[in-house]
Structure 1
Amino acid sequence: MNKLNNILKKKYLLHYIALSITIITCSMIYFSTLSYEVSIDGKNVGIVESKKEVYELIEKKKSYIKKEFEKDVKIDQEIVFTKCRVGKDKITSTEQFNENLNDVIDLTIQACAINIQGKDIVFVKDKKSAEKVLNRIKDENKEGIKDIKEINFIEKIDFIEKDIKISKLKNEESAYKYLLTGTDEMQKYTVKDGDNLWNISRKYNLSMDNIQKANPQIDIEKLHIDQEINITVPKSYLNVRVTSVAAYDEKIPYNIVYEETASLYKGDKKVKTEGKEGSKKITAEVTRINGQVNSTNVLEEEIVEDAQDKIVLKGTKKKPTYIASGAFSNPTRGTLSSKYGRRWGKNHTGIDIAAPKGTPIKASDGGTVVFAGTQNGYGKLIIINHNNGYKTYYGHCSSLVATKGQKVAKGDVVAKVGSTGRSTGNHLHFEVRKNNVPLNPTGYVKY
């Protein structure tokens, strides 16, 4: 009887377990839904309830691109749907799925490559757009230039139709910037306190010259806080050559002709006739590359007015010895006994040169004797005007050799050393004056 009871208990337990599994399975099926795990080119995008949702999102993207570029697009990527059952909370939201889709999907579109020197540089939607971009670059290089004979690009350019990933496609504005600068977006930098051109160039590994090229309208030596500058150096893929015919006036420089004359001393010059520039009208073929003049080929020139020579007279006459040379020599033999400057509470306006009585005193430079006589304090005095702003004084002489009005040469004896006037012994008091202002003679003579 016990054995029978045990068998019945086991049967009931097995039926209970089977029923529980059935109930749990039914519950899971009831509370979950058939879904699809979506991957594109092996990259997981999310879980959706229907394939239709995915295709609708892709079609929306195609429509948006078609509206912007007016061209059909297609998808060449592999889309894989894997069936699964998950709870509602595991389904990817439409917003998140769309965001994930943007990260992995890359639609294909037929576009036109602007091919430069055999390399596809930038893609636009069609040949017409490519031509518009290139014509815009040409037009900017034509501004301000008249009588254009020819305009073209130095580089070889081709237009090639091909299918590309939509991520490579640029609109006309972006393509234009990219061709001129090597990028479709200039990187900016805002100047901060303590910044200067040098540390900005080090920070971005740019030369200071390249920063200047990126900011042609800015004085980069005078940056100020919060100023925005470009730190992308333009690297244009294209060079525009413009050839034009220009007519302009050009000055003809005059020549300087020298004529010798005995009416002037050697070393002296005098303008006889002022020169006058002439002018000529030039017609030339001018070639510019990227706005800068590269070469000029003169086609025709017409003299409008001849230049007139400037005639300069050049002296040949030997200078008389009484004309100042501009350099002073020692006026006598002796030793310096008193310097220029303050002495005994007064200003000593010259130097004293001690020498025996009767030692010859010579003119320190050529000139005219404007005073020969006795003057208070100086005793017997000679003053020579060198007729170049300078005068020299020779005081305390024992006797005078030169006379007033006499022309003397450099080195001529004009007096002899003595001790006349306020003097404490035989010496020469020697002064150098310019425009009647005493100067230190040791700047002109050596003792």
Structure 2
Amino acid sequence: MTSSWLHTVQSKGKGLLQRLPPQWQKLFLPSTLFLLLIGILLFTSRRPEPLWAVSLNGQVVGWVQDREALEEALRQLEEEKEAEYGEGVELSGTLEFTQVTEPDLEPEEPNRLAGRLEKLMTYTVPAAVIVVNGEPVVALAGEEEARRVLDAVQIEYLSSEEGAVLEEVVIKENVAIEPDRVAVDRIKDPEEALRILLQGTDEVITHRVAKGESLWSIAVSYDLTVEDLKKANPDLKSDLLQIDQELSLVVPKPYLTVVTKETVTYTQDIPYPTRTVQDSSLWVYERQIREEGKPGRKEVTWTIVRENGQEIQRELVSEKELEEPVTQVVAVGTKMPVAQGTGRLSWPMSRGSITSRYGLRSGRMHSGVDIAAPTGTPIYAADSGVVTMAQWYSGYGKTVIIDHGNGISTLYGHCSEILVRVGSKVEKGQLIARVGSTGRSTGSHLHFEIRENGRTCDPLRYFQ
């Protein structure tokens, strides 16, 4: 292009000079040659140098003069990643080079552009991905490692019950291990992968127990329930905590459901029957044991099905009586107290919030309502009546029971202090005890029951 343009200029310039008189030709020839030289220099200086446009996934990200230098810089980066993550590391994304001669383009130093590309592209490696019901969940370095993690999940939920014989263990979901390429930061080590499958996350949040704390108070602090805390800490053997004990606050939402079937044989007590006899010399709230009962013994075999360690089905296979139980004879009073209730119950506390209602709770019947309040909070009689119990009562701890007549009685459990005696007549709203956490309790609260003819009912029915 340059030679043809130059030839045209020379031809036209020569023709123009030949038309001029000789004396003028001598005058204009040096000037014409000088201007021609300046024109050639200006043309060549304005012509842009060819560059390489670098595109990632169809979008230009920069320009370089030396394509080979950029490719070498990228190779060096890939070698560094292979040294860190092993062989098979690749940069994902489509990289293209196009030669351009457009003006006003600023080329970039190859190493610098390679560094920018490293941040824009993703390094991938071969992986074994555990897929649950068609959804990829966690990636590991290899298939053998993935299989060991799945085995560890099943082992995690095997029963530790003495005498249990494992018959079957299966994973409920459709699980597969599939080869794939994933970003290097998605590869998990076996411990992390196991935690994700068991908990639904690899997040770790813990709480260190301080003096005076209980499961109840810790659960309230983190907007959890006591049941949530127990799920997050399956190794807890009791509700008693030690100072500096570390508790997990991550409530598991496992990806997998491990179903186990086991057979267990053990010796079990046979509860002794009780025969009652009436005694008119005793108050109706009094009972006296006339003959002690003795439980019998039997050998039982059960088939137990569990999901993730929680029993969902139990079937009796066989039982064999080893020792017959002895009947207990109890005298029950028939003498009626005079005091009668008003028939309209009042709430037993002036403060506190309901934390557990009447009904099934964790598969077990909760026979009243729990009202959380600080230790020492006053407890008042829900109605007038006669105190028929004012003592320690098994898992209820310190307990007061009031008979209001007409088959209605109320129970106040886990008290820290009892302020009435058996046989006392109390008025509706009278102070009878104070809130505590005695007996089988995980925090300061009142367990309040209403009984109709000896059977518990939902207390909230009386306050609607």
TM-score (norm 1): 0.51
Q: Take 1:90 and 1:209, find their aligned partners in 2: how far apart are those partners?
A: 64
Match of 2:108 in 1: 91
CA distance, structure 1, for counterparts of residue 73 and residue 120 of structure 2: 13
Deviation at 1:280, TM superposition (A): 2.4
Give the partner amino acid of 1:290: N
* Higher radius of gyration, 1 or 2: 1
- In structure 2, which of residues 17, 20, 39 is the aligned counterpart of residue 18 of structure 1? 39
Aligned to 1:241: 259
- Out of 105, 109, 121, the residue aligned to residue 137 of structure 2 is 121
Question: Per the alignment, do residues 211 and 41 of structure 1 end up closer, same or farther by CA in structure 2, a change over 3 Å counting?
Answer: farther
Contact preservation (8 Å) 1:214, 1:230: no
Note if contact 1:46-1:100 (Cα within 8 Å) is conserved in structure 2: no
Q: 1:123 to 1:64 in 2, by over 3 A?
A: farther
Matched, 1:285 2:306: no
Q: Which residue of 2 aligns with 1:410?
A: none
Indicate how the Cα distance of structure 1 residues 179 and 266 shifts in structure 2: closer, same or farther if over 3 A, else same: same
Question: Partners in 2 of 1:182 and 1:117 — Cα distance?
Answer: 15
In structure 2, the partner of 1:155 is 173
Deviation, structure 1 residue 131: 0.7
- Assess if the C-alpha contact under 8 Å between 1:213 and 1:234 holds in 2: no
- Which amino acid in structure 2 is aligned with residue 307 of structure 1? P
Cα distance between partner residues in 2 of 1:296 and 1:118: 32
Unmatched 5+ residue regions in structure 1?
Answer: 191-195, 202-206, 320-324, 329-442
Offset of 1:51 from its aligned partner?
Answer: 3.8
C-alpha displacement of 1:45: 4.8
Cα 1:158–1:277 change in 2 (3 A) is same
Q: Distance in 2 between matches of 1:254 and 1:69?
A: 68
Deviation of residue 139 (structure 1)?
2.0
Measure how far apart 1:49 and its partner are: 5.3
- Equivalents in 2 of 1:189, 1:46: separation in Å? 50
Alpha-carbon distance, 1:236 to partner: 1.5
Is this contact kept in 2: 1:214–1:231, CA < 8 A?
A: no
Alpha-carbon separation, structure 2, partners of 1:273 and 1:92: 100
Report the 3-state secondary structure (helix = DSSP H, G, I; strand = E; otherwise coil) of the residue aligned with 2:157. helix
Assess, with a 3 A threshold, how the Cα gap between structure 1 residues 200 and 247 changes in structure 2: closer, same or farther. closer
Distance 2:207 2:100 in 1: 51
**Equivalent-residue separation in structure 2 for 1:278 and 1:50 (angstroms):** 93
Q: Which stretch of structure 1 is more off in the superposition, 7-16 or 277-286?
A: 7-16
SS in 2 for 1:142: coil
- How many residues are treated as equivalent by the alignment? 301
Query: Relative to 1, partners in 2 of residues 1:102 and 1:252: Cα closer, same or farther, differing over 3 Å?
Result: farther
Contact 2:200 2:255 in 1 (8 A): yes
SS state of the match for residue 325, structure 2?
coil
Give the Cα separation in 1 of the matches to 2:110 and 2:86.
30
Q: 1:56 to 1:125 in 2, by over 3 A?
A: farther
1:300-325 per-position Cα deviation (integer Å, ceiling 9, x unaligned): 32333322111134689xx9xxxxx9
Partner of 2:149: 133
Q: 1:105 aligns with which of 109, 115, 121?
A: 121
| Pairwise CA distance, 1:292 | 2.1
Measure the CA separation in 1 of the matches of 2:205 and 2:322.
53
- Return the offset for 1:134: 0.5
- Give CA deviations for 1:405-434 in whole Å, capped at 9, x if unaligned: xxxxxxxxxxxxxxxxxxxxxxxxxxxxxx
Counterparts of 1:183 and 1:166 in 2: how far apart (Å)?
19
Query: CA 1:91–1:289 in 2, change beyond 3 Å: closer, same or farther?
Result: same
1:40 paired residue among 50, 56, 71: 56
Q: Aligned Cα RMSD in Å?
A: 5.2
Partner of 1:182: 200
Q: For 1:248-294, what per-residue CA distance to the aligned partner results, in whole angstroms no more than 9, with x for missing partners?
A: 3322211111346xxx6465765321112223233322322222222
Measure the CA separation in 2 of the matches of 1:107 and 1:293: 45
Pairwise CA distance, 1:237: 0.8
Q: Distance in 2 between matches of 1:122 and 1:326?
A: 69
2: CA distance, partners of 1:44 / 1:60: 22
Q: Is the 8 A contact 1:211 1:230 kept in 2?
A: no
Gaps of 5+ in 2: 1-20, 209-217, 340-426, 428-464
